[in-house]
């Protein structure tokens, strides 16, 4: 804050001023704030007033305090702050957003014409029976005694789970590197992140156990298509994680199955021994990102808490939207399209991995829509690829603590020949960087 001075005269005013400065980008992610005493002297406030304001900023996820490192603006950028998106020049290929290929999505317009949802009123069952039947048929069960509800996307389901079971200040074990939007969500709810390293098979059980012993009250695990690394749980890893969770029966265990119907491999779950558990299965990657709907399954007590939170707000997810999902999901044409999409996504992802490997570039992408490429200097690689017409995502958005630098490349829309070109351009950039550093 060397170039930014506080003028607030109350704790509430200080919170509002810092929040506005972060949102407008005048305070940057990672920027260090002065000590409580220095900030109090600068603003003409008492140390207790400043301390109260900083506590509220931490609760809102705008700042983090890390022992001797002091208090800093949250990194990645807190929810609601100015987005640090890379501009896409005309003619460039945007491989940064993690979107599915529009050409592989089912025809929503045709499904809308076929869908004939009945009129539903207040007080009716929140889940369409036809959607519940499809969920059981297509997704199967995690364990006996599960309940199901419908939420507006997997991320909203995770937020409702955490809001209904945790309190601000609680710790949540998260994958590192992991999903940037989840990091923002946790910070916005005043929750503290406990980073857990991942390899190609997902969270490391021993690291998860260390986080739970340190006091994490919940853990969020991605079973397949992990964002950004593509990690995929196998039988041995899921059993290892399940054994860890069984030793902490009061921890809320959440699986974010954001790929849902697009999962190329059978889903291995780590939730078999958990007392408090839920899995959110999204339809958005498979049927269309604008279909904000996910199926949330879990133990009866945990799901009931989510349903009570829903009743305090919208009450239920639109039956019109649910009916459209039933029409799409139950269609043979959609099932054929999904099978084609799974094959194409695998082919495109594997194609880039093979081209990178042929050039001696290590990369990760066991499943999903992205490839994670470790690099020495993210900004140089992002800028170098941009100059060659490729837009990729800097890994800093997805990394916590000691996770090394990388870039994320979305492979979902790669056309024939593009994997060879992007791999060649990346190899040239890396070689030039090595020459300069040498």
In tens digits, what is the pLDDT along the chain, a chain of 438 residues? 445 677 777 888 888 888 888 877 788 877 888 888 888 888 788 888 888 888 888 777 788 776 666 788 876 555 544 445 556 788 899 999 999 999 999 999 888 888 888 888 898 899 999 999 888 887 765 555 689 999 999 999 999 999 999 998 899 999 999 999 999 999 888 898 999 999 999 999 999 999 999 999 999 999 999 999 999 999 999 999 999 999 999 999 999 999 999 988 788 999 978 899 999 999 999 999 999 999 999 999 999 999 999 988 889 999 999 999 999 999 999 999 999 999 999 999 999 999 999 999 999 999 999 999 999 999 999 999 999 999 999 999 999 877 899 999 999 999 989 999 999 999 999 998 776 765
Integer Cα distance of 278 and 316 in angstroms: 18
Beta strands in 249-303 (DSSP E): 252-257, 276-282, 294-298
**pLDDT confidence of residue 81:** 46
Tell which CATH architecture fits domain 93-103+335-437.
Alpha-Beta Complex (3.90)
In 3D space, the residue among 303, 306, 222 whose CA is nearest the CA of residue 268 turns out to be 222
On whether the pTM is more than 0.75, the answer is yes
| SS3 label, residue 125 | coil
Q: How far apart are CA 316 and CA 120, in angstroms?
A: 11
Residue pair 395/406 in contact by the 8 Å Cβ criterion:
yes
b/e 183-192 (16+ beta carbons within 10 angstroms → b): bbbbbbbbbb
What confidence score (pLDDT) does residue 329 get? 93
Token digits for 42?
């600068």
Give yes or no for a contact between 369 and 410, defined as CB atoms under 8 angstroms apart: yes
Q: Which two tokens stand for residue 241?
A: 């994680």
pLDDT given for residue 82 in this prediction: 42
What does the pLDDT read at residue 115? 84
- Give the pLDDT score at 308: 93
pLDDT for residue 190: 85
Token pair recorded at residue 337: 């399209």
CA 270-229-400 angle, to 5 degrees, is 90
260 Rama sector, left if φ>0, alpha if ψ -120 to 50, beta otherwise: left
pLDDT for position 68: 64
Q: What is the pLDDT of residue 83?
A: 47
Give the model's pLDDT for residue 16: 85
Q: What is the pLDDT of residue 4?
A: 60
CATH class of the 11-73 domain in this structure: mainly alpha
Candidate CATH numbers 2.40.37.10, 3.60.20.10, 3.10.20.30, 3.40.640.10; the one for domain 116-330? 3.40.640.10
Yes or no: say if 170 and 191 are a contact pair by the CB < 8 Å rule: yes
Task: Check residue 144 and give its pLDDT.
Answer: 58
The DSSP string of 372-423 is EEE-S-HHHHHHHHHHTTEE-EEGGGT--TTPPPEEEEE-TTPPTTHHHHHH
**DSSP characters over 49-111:** HHHHHHHHHHHTTSEEE-GGG-EEE-SSPPTTSPP-PPP--TT-EE--S-PPPGGGS--HHHH
Listed by start position, the domains of the chain span 11-73, 93-103+335-437, 116-330
Specify the pLDDT at position 151: 97
**Amino acid 78: pLDDT:** 52
The angle subtended at Cα 257 by Cα 252 and Cα 261, nearest 5°, is 150
């Amino acid at each position: 804050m060397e170039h930014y001075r506080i003028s607030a005269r109350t704790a509430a005013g200080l919170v509002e001023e810092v929040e506005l400065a972060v949102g407008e980008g005048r305070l940057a992610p990672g920027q260090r704030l002065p000590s409580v005493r220095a900030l109090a002297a600068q603003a003409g406030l008492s140390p207790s007033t400043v301390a109260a304001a900083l506590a509220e900023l931490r609760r809102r996820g705008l700042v983090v305090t890390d022992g001797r490192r002091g208090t800093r603006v949250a990194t990645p950028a807190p929810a609601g702050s100015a987005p640090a998106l890379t501009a896409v020049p005309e003619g460039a290929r945007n491989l940064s957003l993690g979107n599915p290929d529009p050409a592989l999505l089912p025809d929503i317009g045709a499904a809308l014409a076929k869908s004939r949802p009945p009129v539903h009123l207040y007080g009716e069952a929140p889940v369409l029976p036809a959607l519940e039947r499809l969920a059981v048929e297509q997704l199967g069960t995690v364990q006996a005694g599960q309940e199901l509800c419908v939420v507006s996307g997997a991320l909203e389901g995770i937020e409702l789970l955490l809001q209904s079971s945790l309190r601000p200040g609680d710790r949540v074990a998260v994958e590192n590197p992991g999903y940037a939007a989840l990091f923002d969500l946790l910070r916005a709810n005043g929750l503290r992140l406990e980073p857990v390293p991942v390899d190609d098979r997902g969270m490391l059980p021993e690291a998860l156990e260390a986080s739970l012993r340190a006091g994490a009250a919940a853990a969020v695990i991605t079973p397949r298509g992990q964002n950004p690394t593509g990690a995929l749980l196998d039988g041995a890893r899921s059993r290892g994680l399940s054994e860890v969770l069984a030793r902490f029966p009061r921890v809320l265990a959440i699986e974010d199955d954001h790929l849902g119907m697009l999962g190329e491999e059978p889903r291995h779950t780590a939730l078999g021994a958990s007392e408090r558990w839920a899995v959110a299965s999204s339809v958005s990657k498979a049927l269309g990102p604008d279909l904000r709907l996910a199926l949330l399954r879990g133990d009866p007590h945990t799901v009931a808490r989510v349903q009570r939170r829903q009743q305090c707000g919208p009450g239920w997810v639109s039956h019109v939207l649910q009916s459209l999902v039933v029409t799409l999901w139950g269609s043979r044409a959609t099932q054929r399209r999904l099978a084609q999409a799974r094959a194409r996504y695998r082919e495109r992802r594997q194609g880039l991995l093979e081209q990178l490997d042929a050039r001696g570039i290590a990369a990760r992408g066991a499943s999903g829509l992205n490839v994670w490429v470790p690099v020495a200097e993210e900004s140089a690689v992002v800028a170098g690829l941009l100059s060659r017409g490729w837009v990729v995502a800097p890994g800093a958005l997805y990394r916590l603590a000691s996770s090394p630098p990388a870039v994320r490349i979305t492979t979902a829309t790669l056309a024939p020949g593009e994997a060879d070109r992007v791999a060649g351009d990346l190899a040239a950039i890396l070689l030039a960087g090595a020459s300069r550093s040498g």
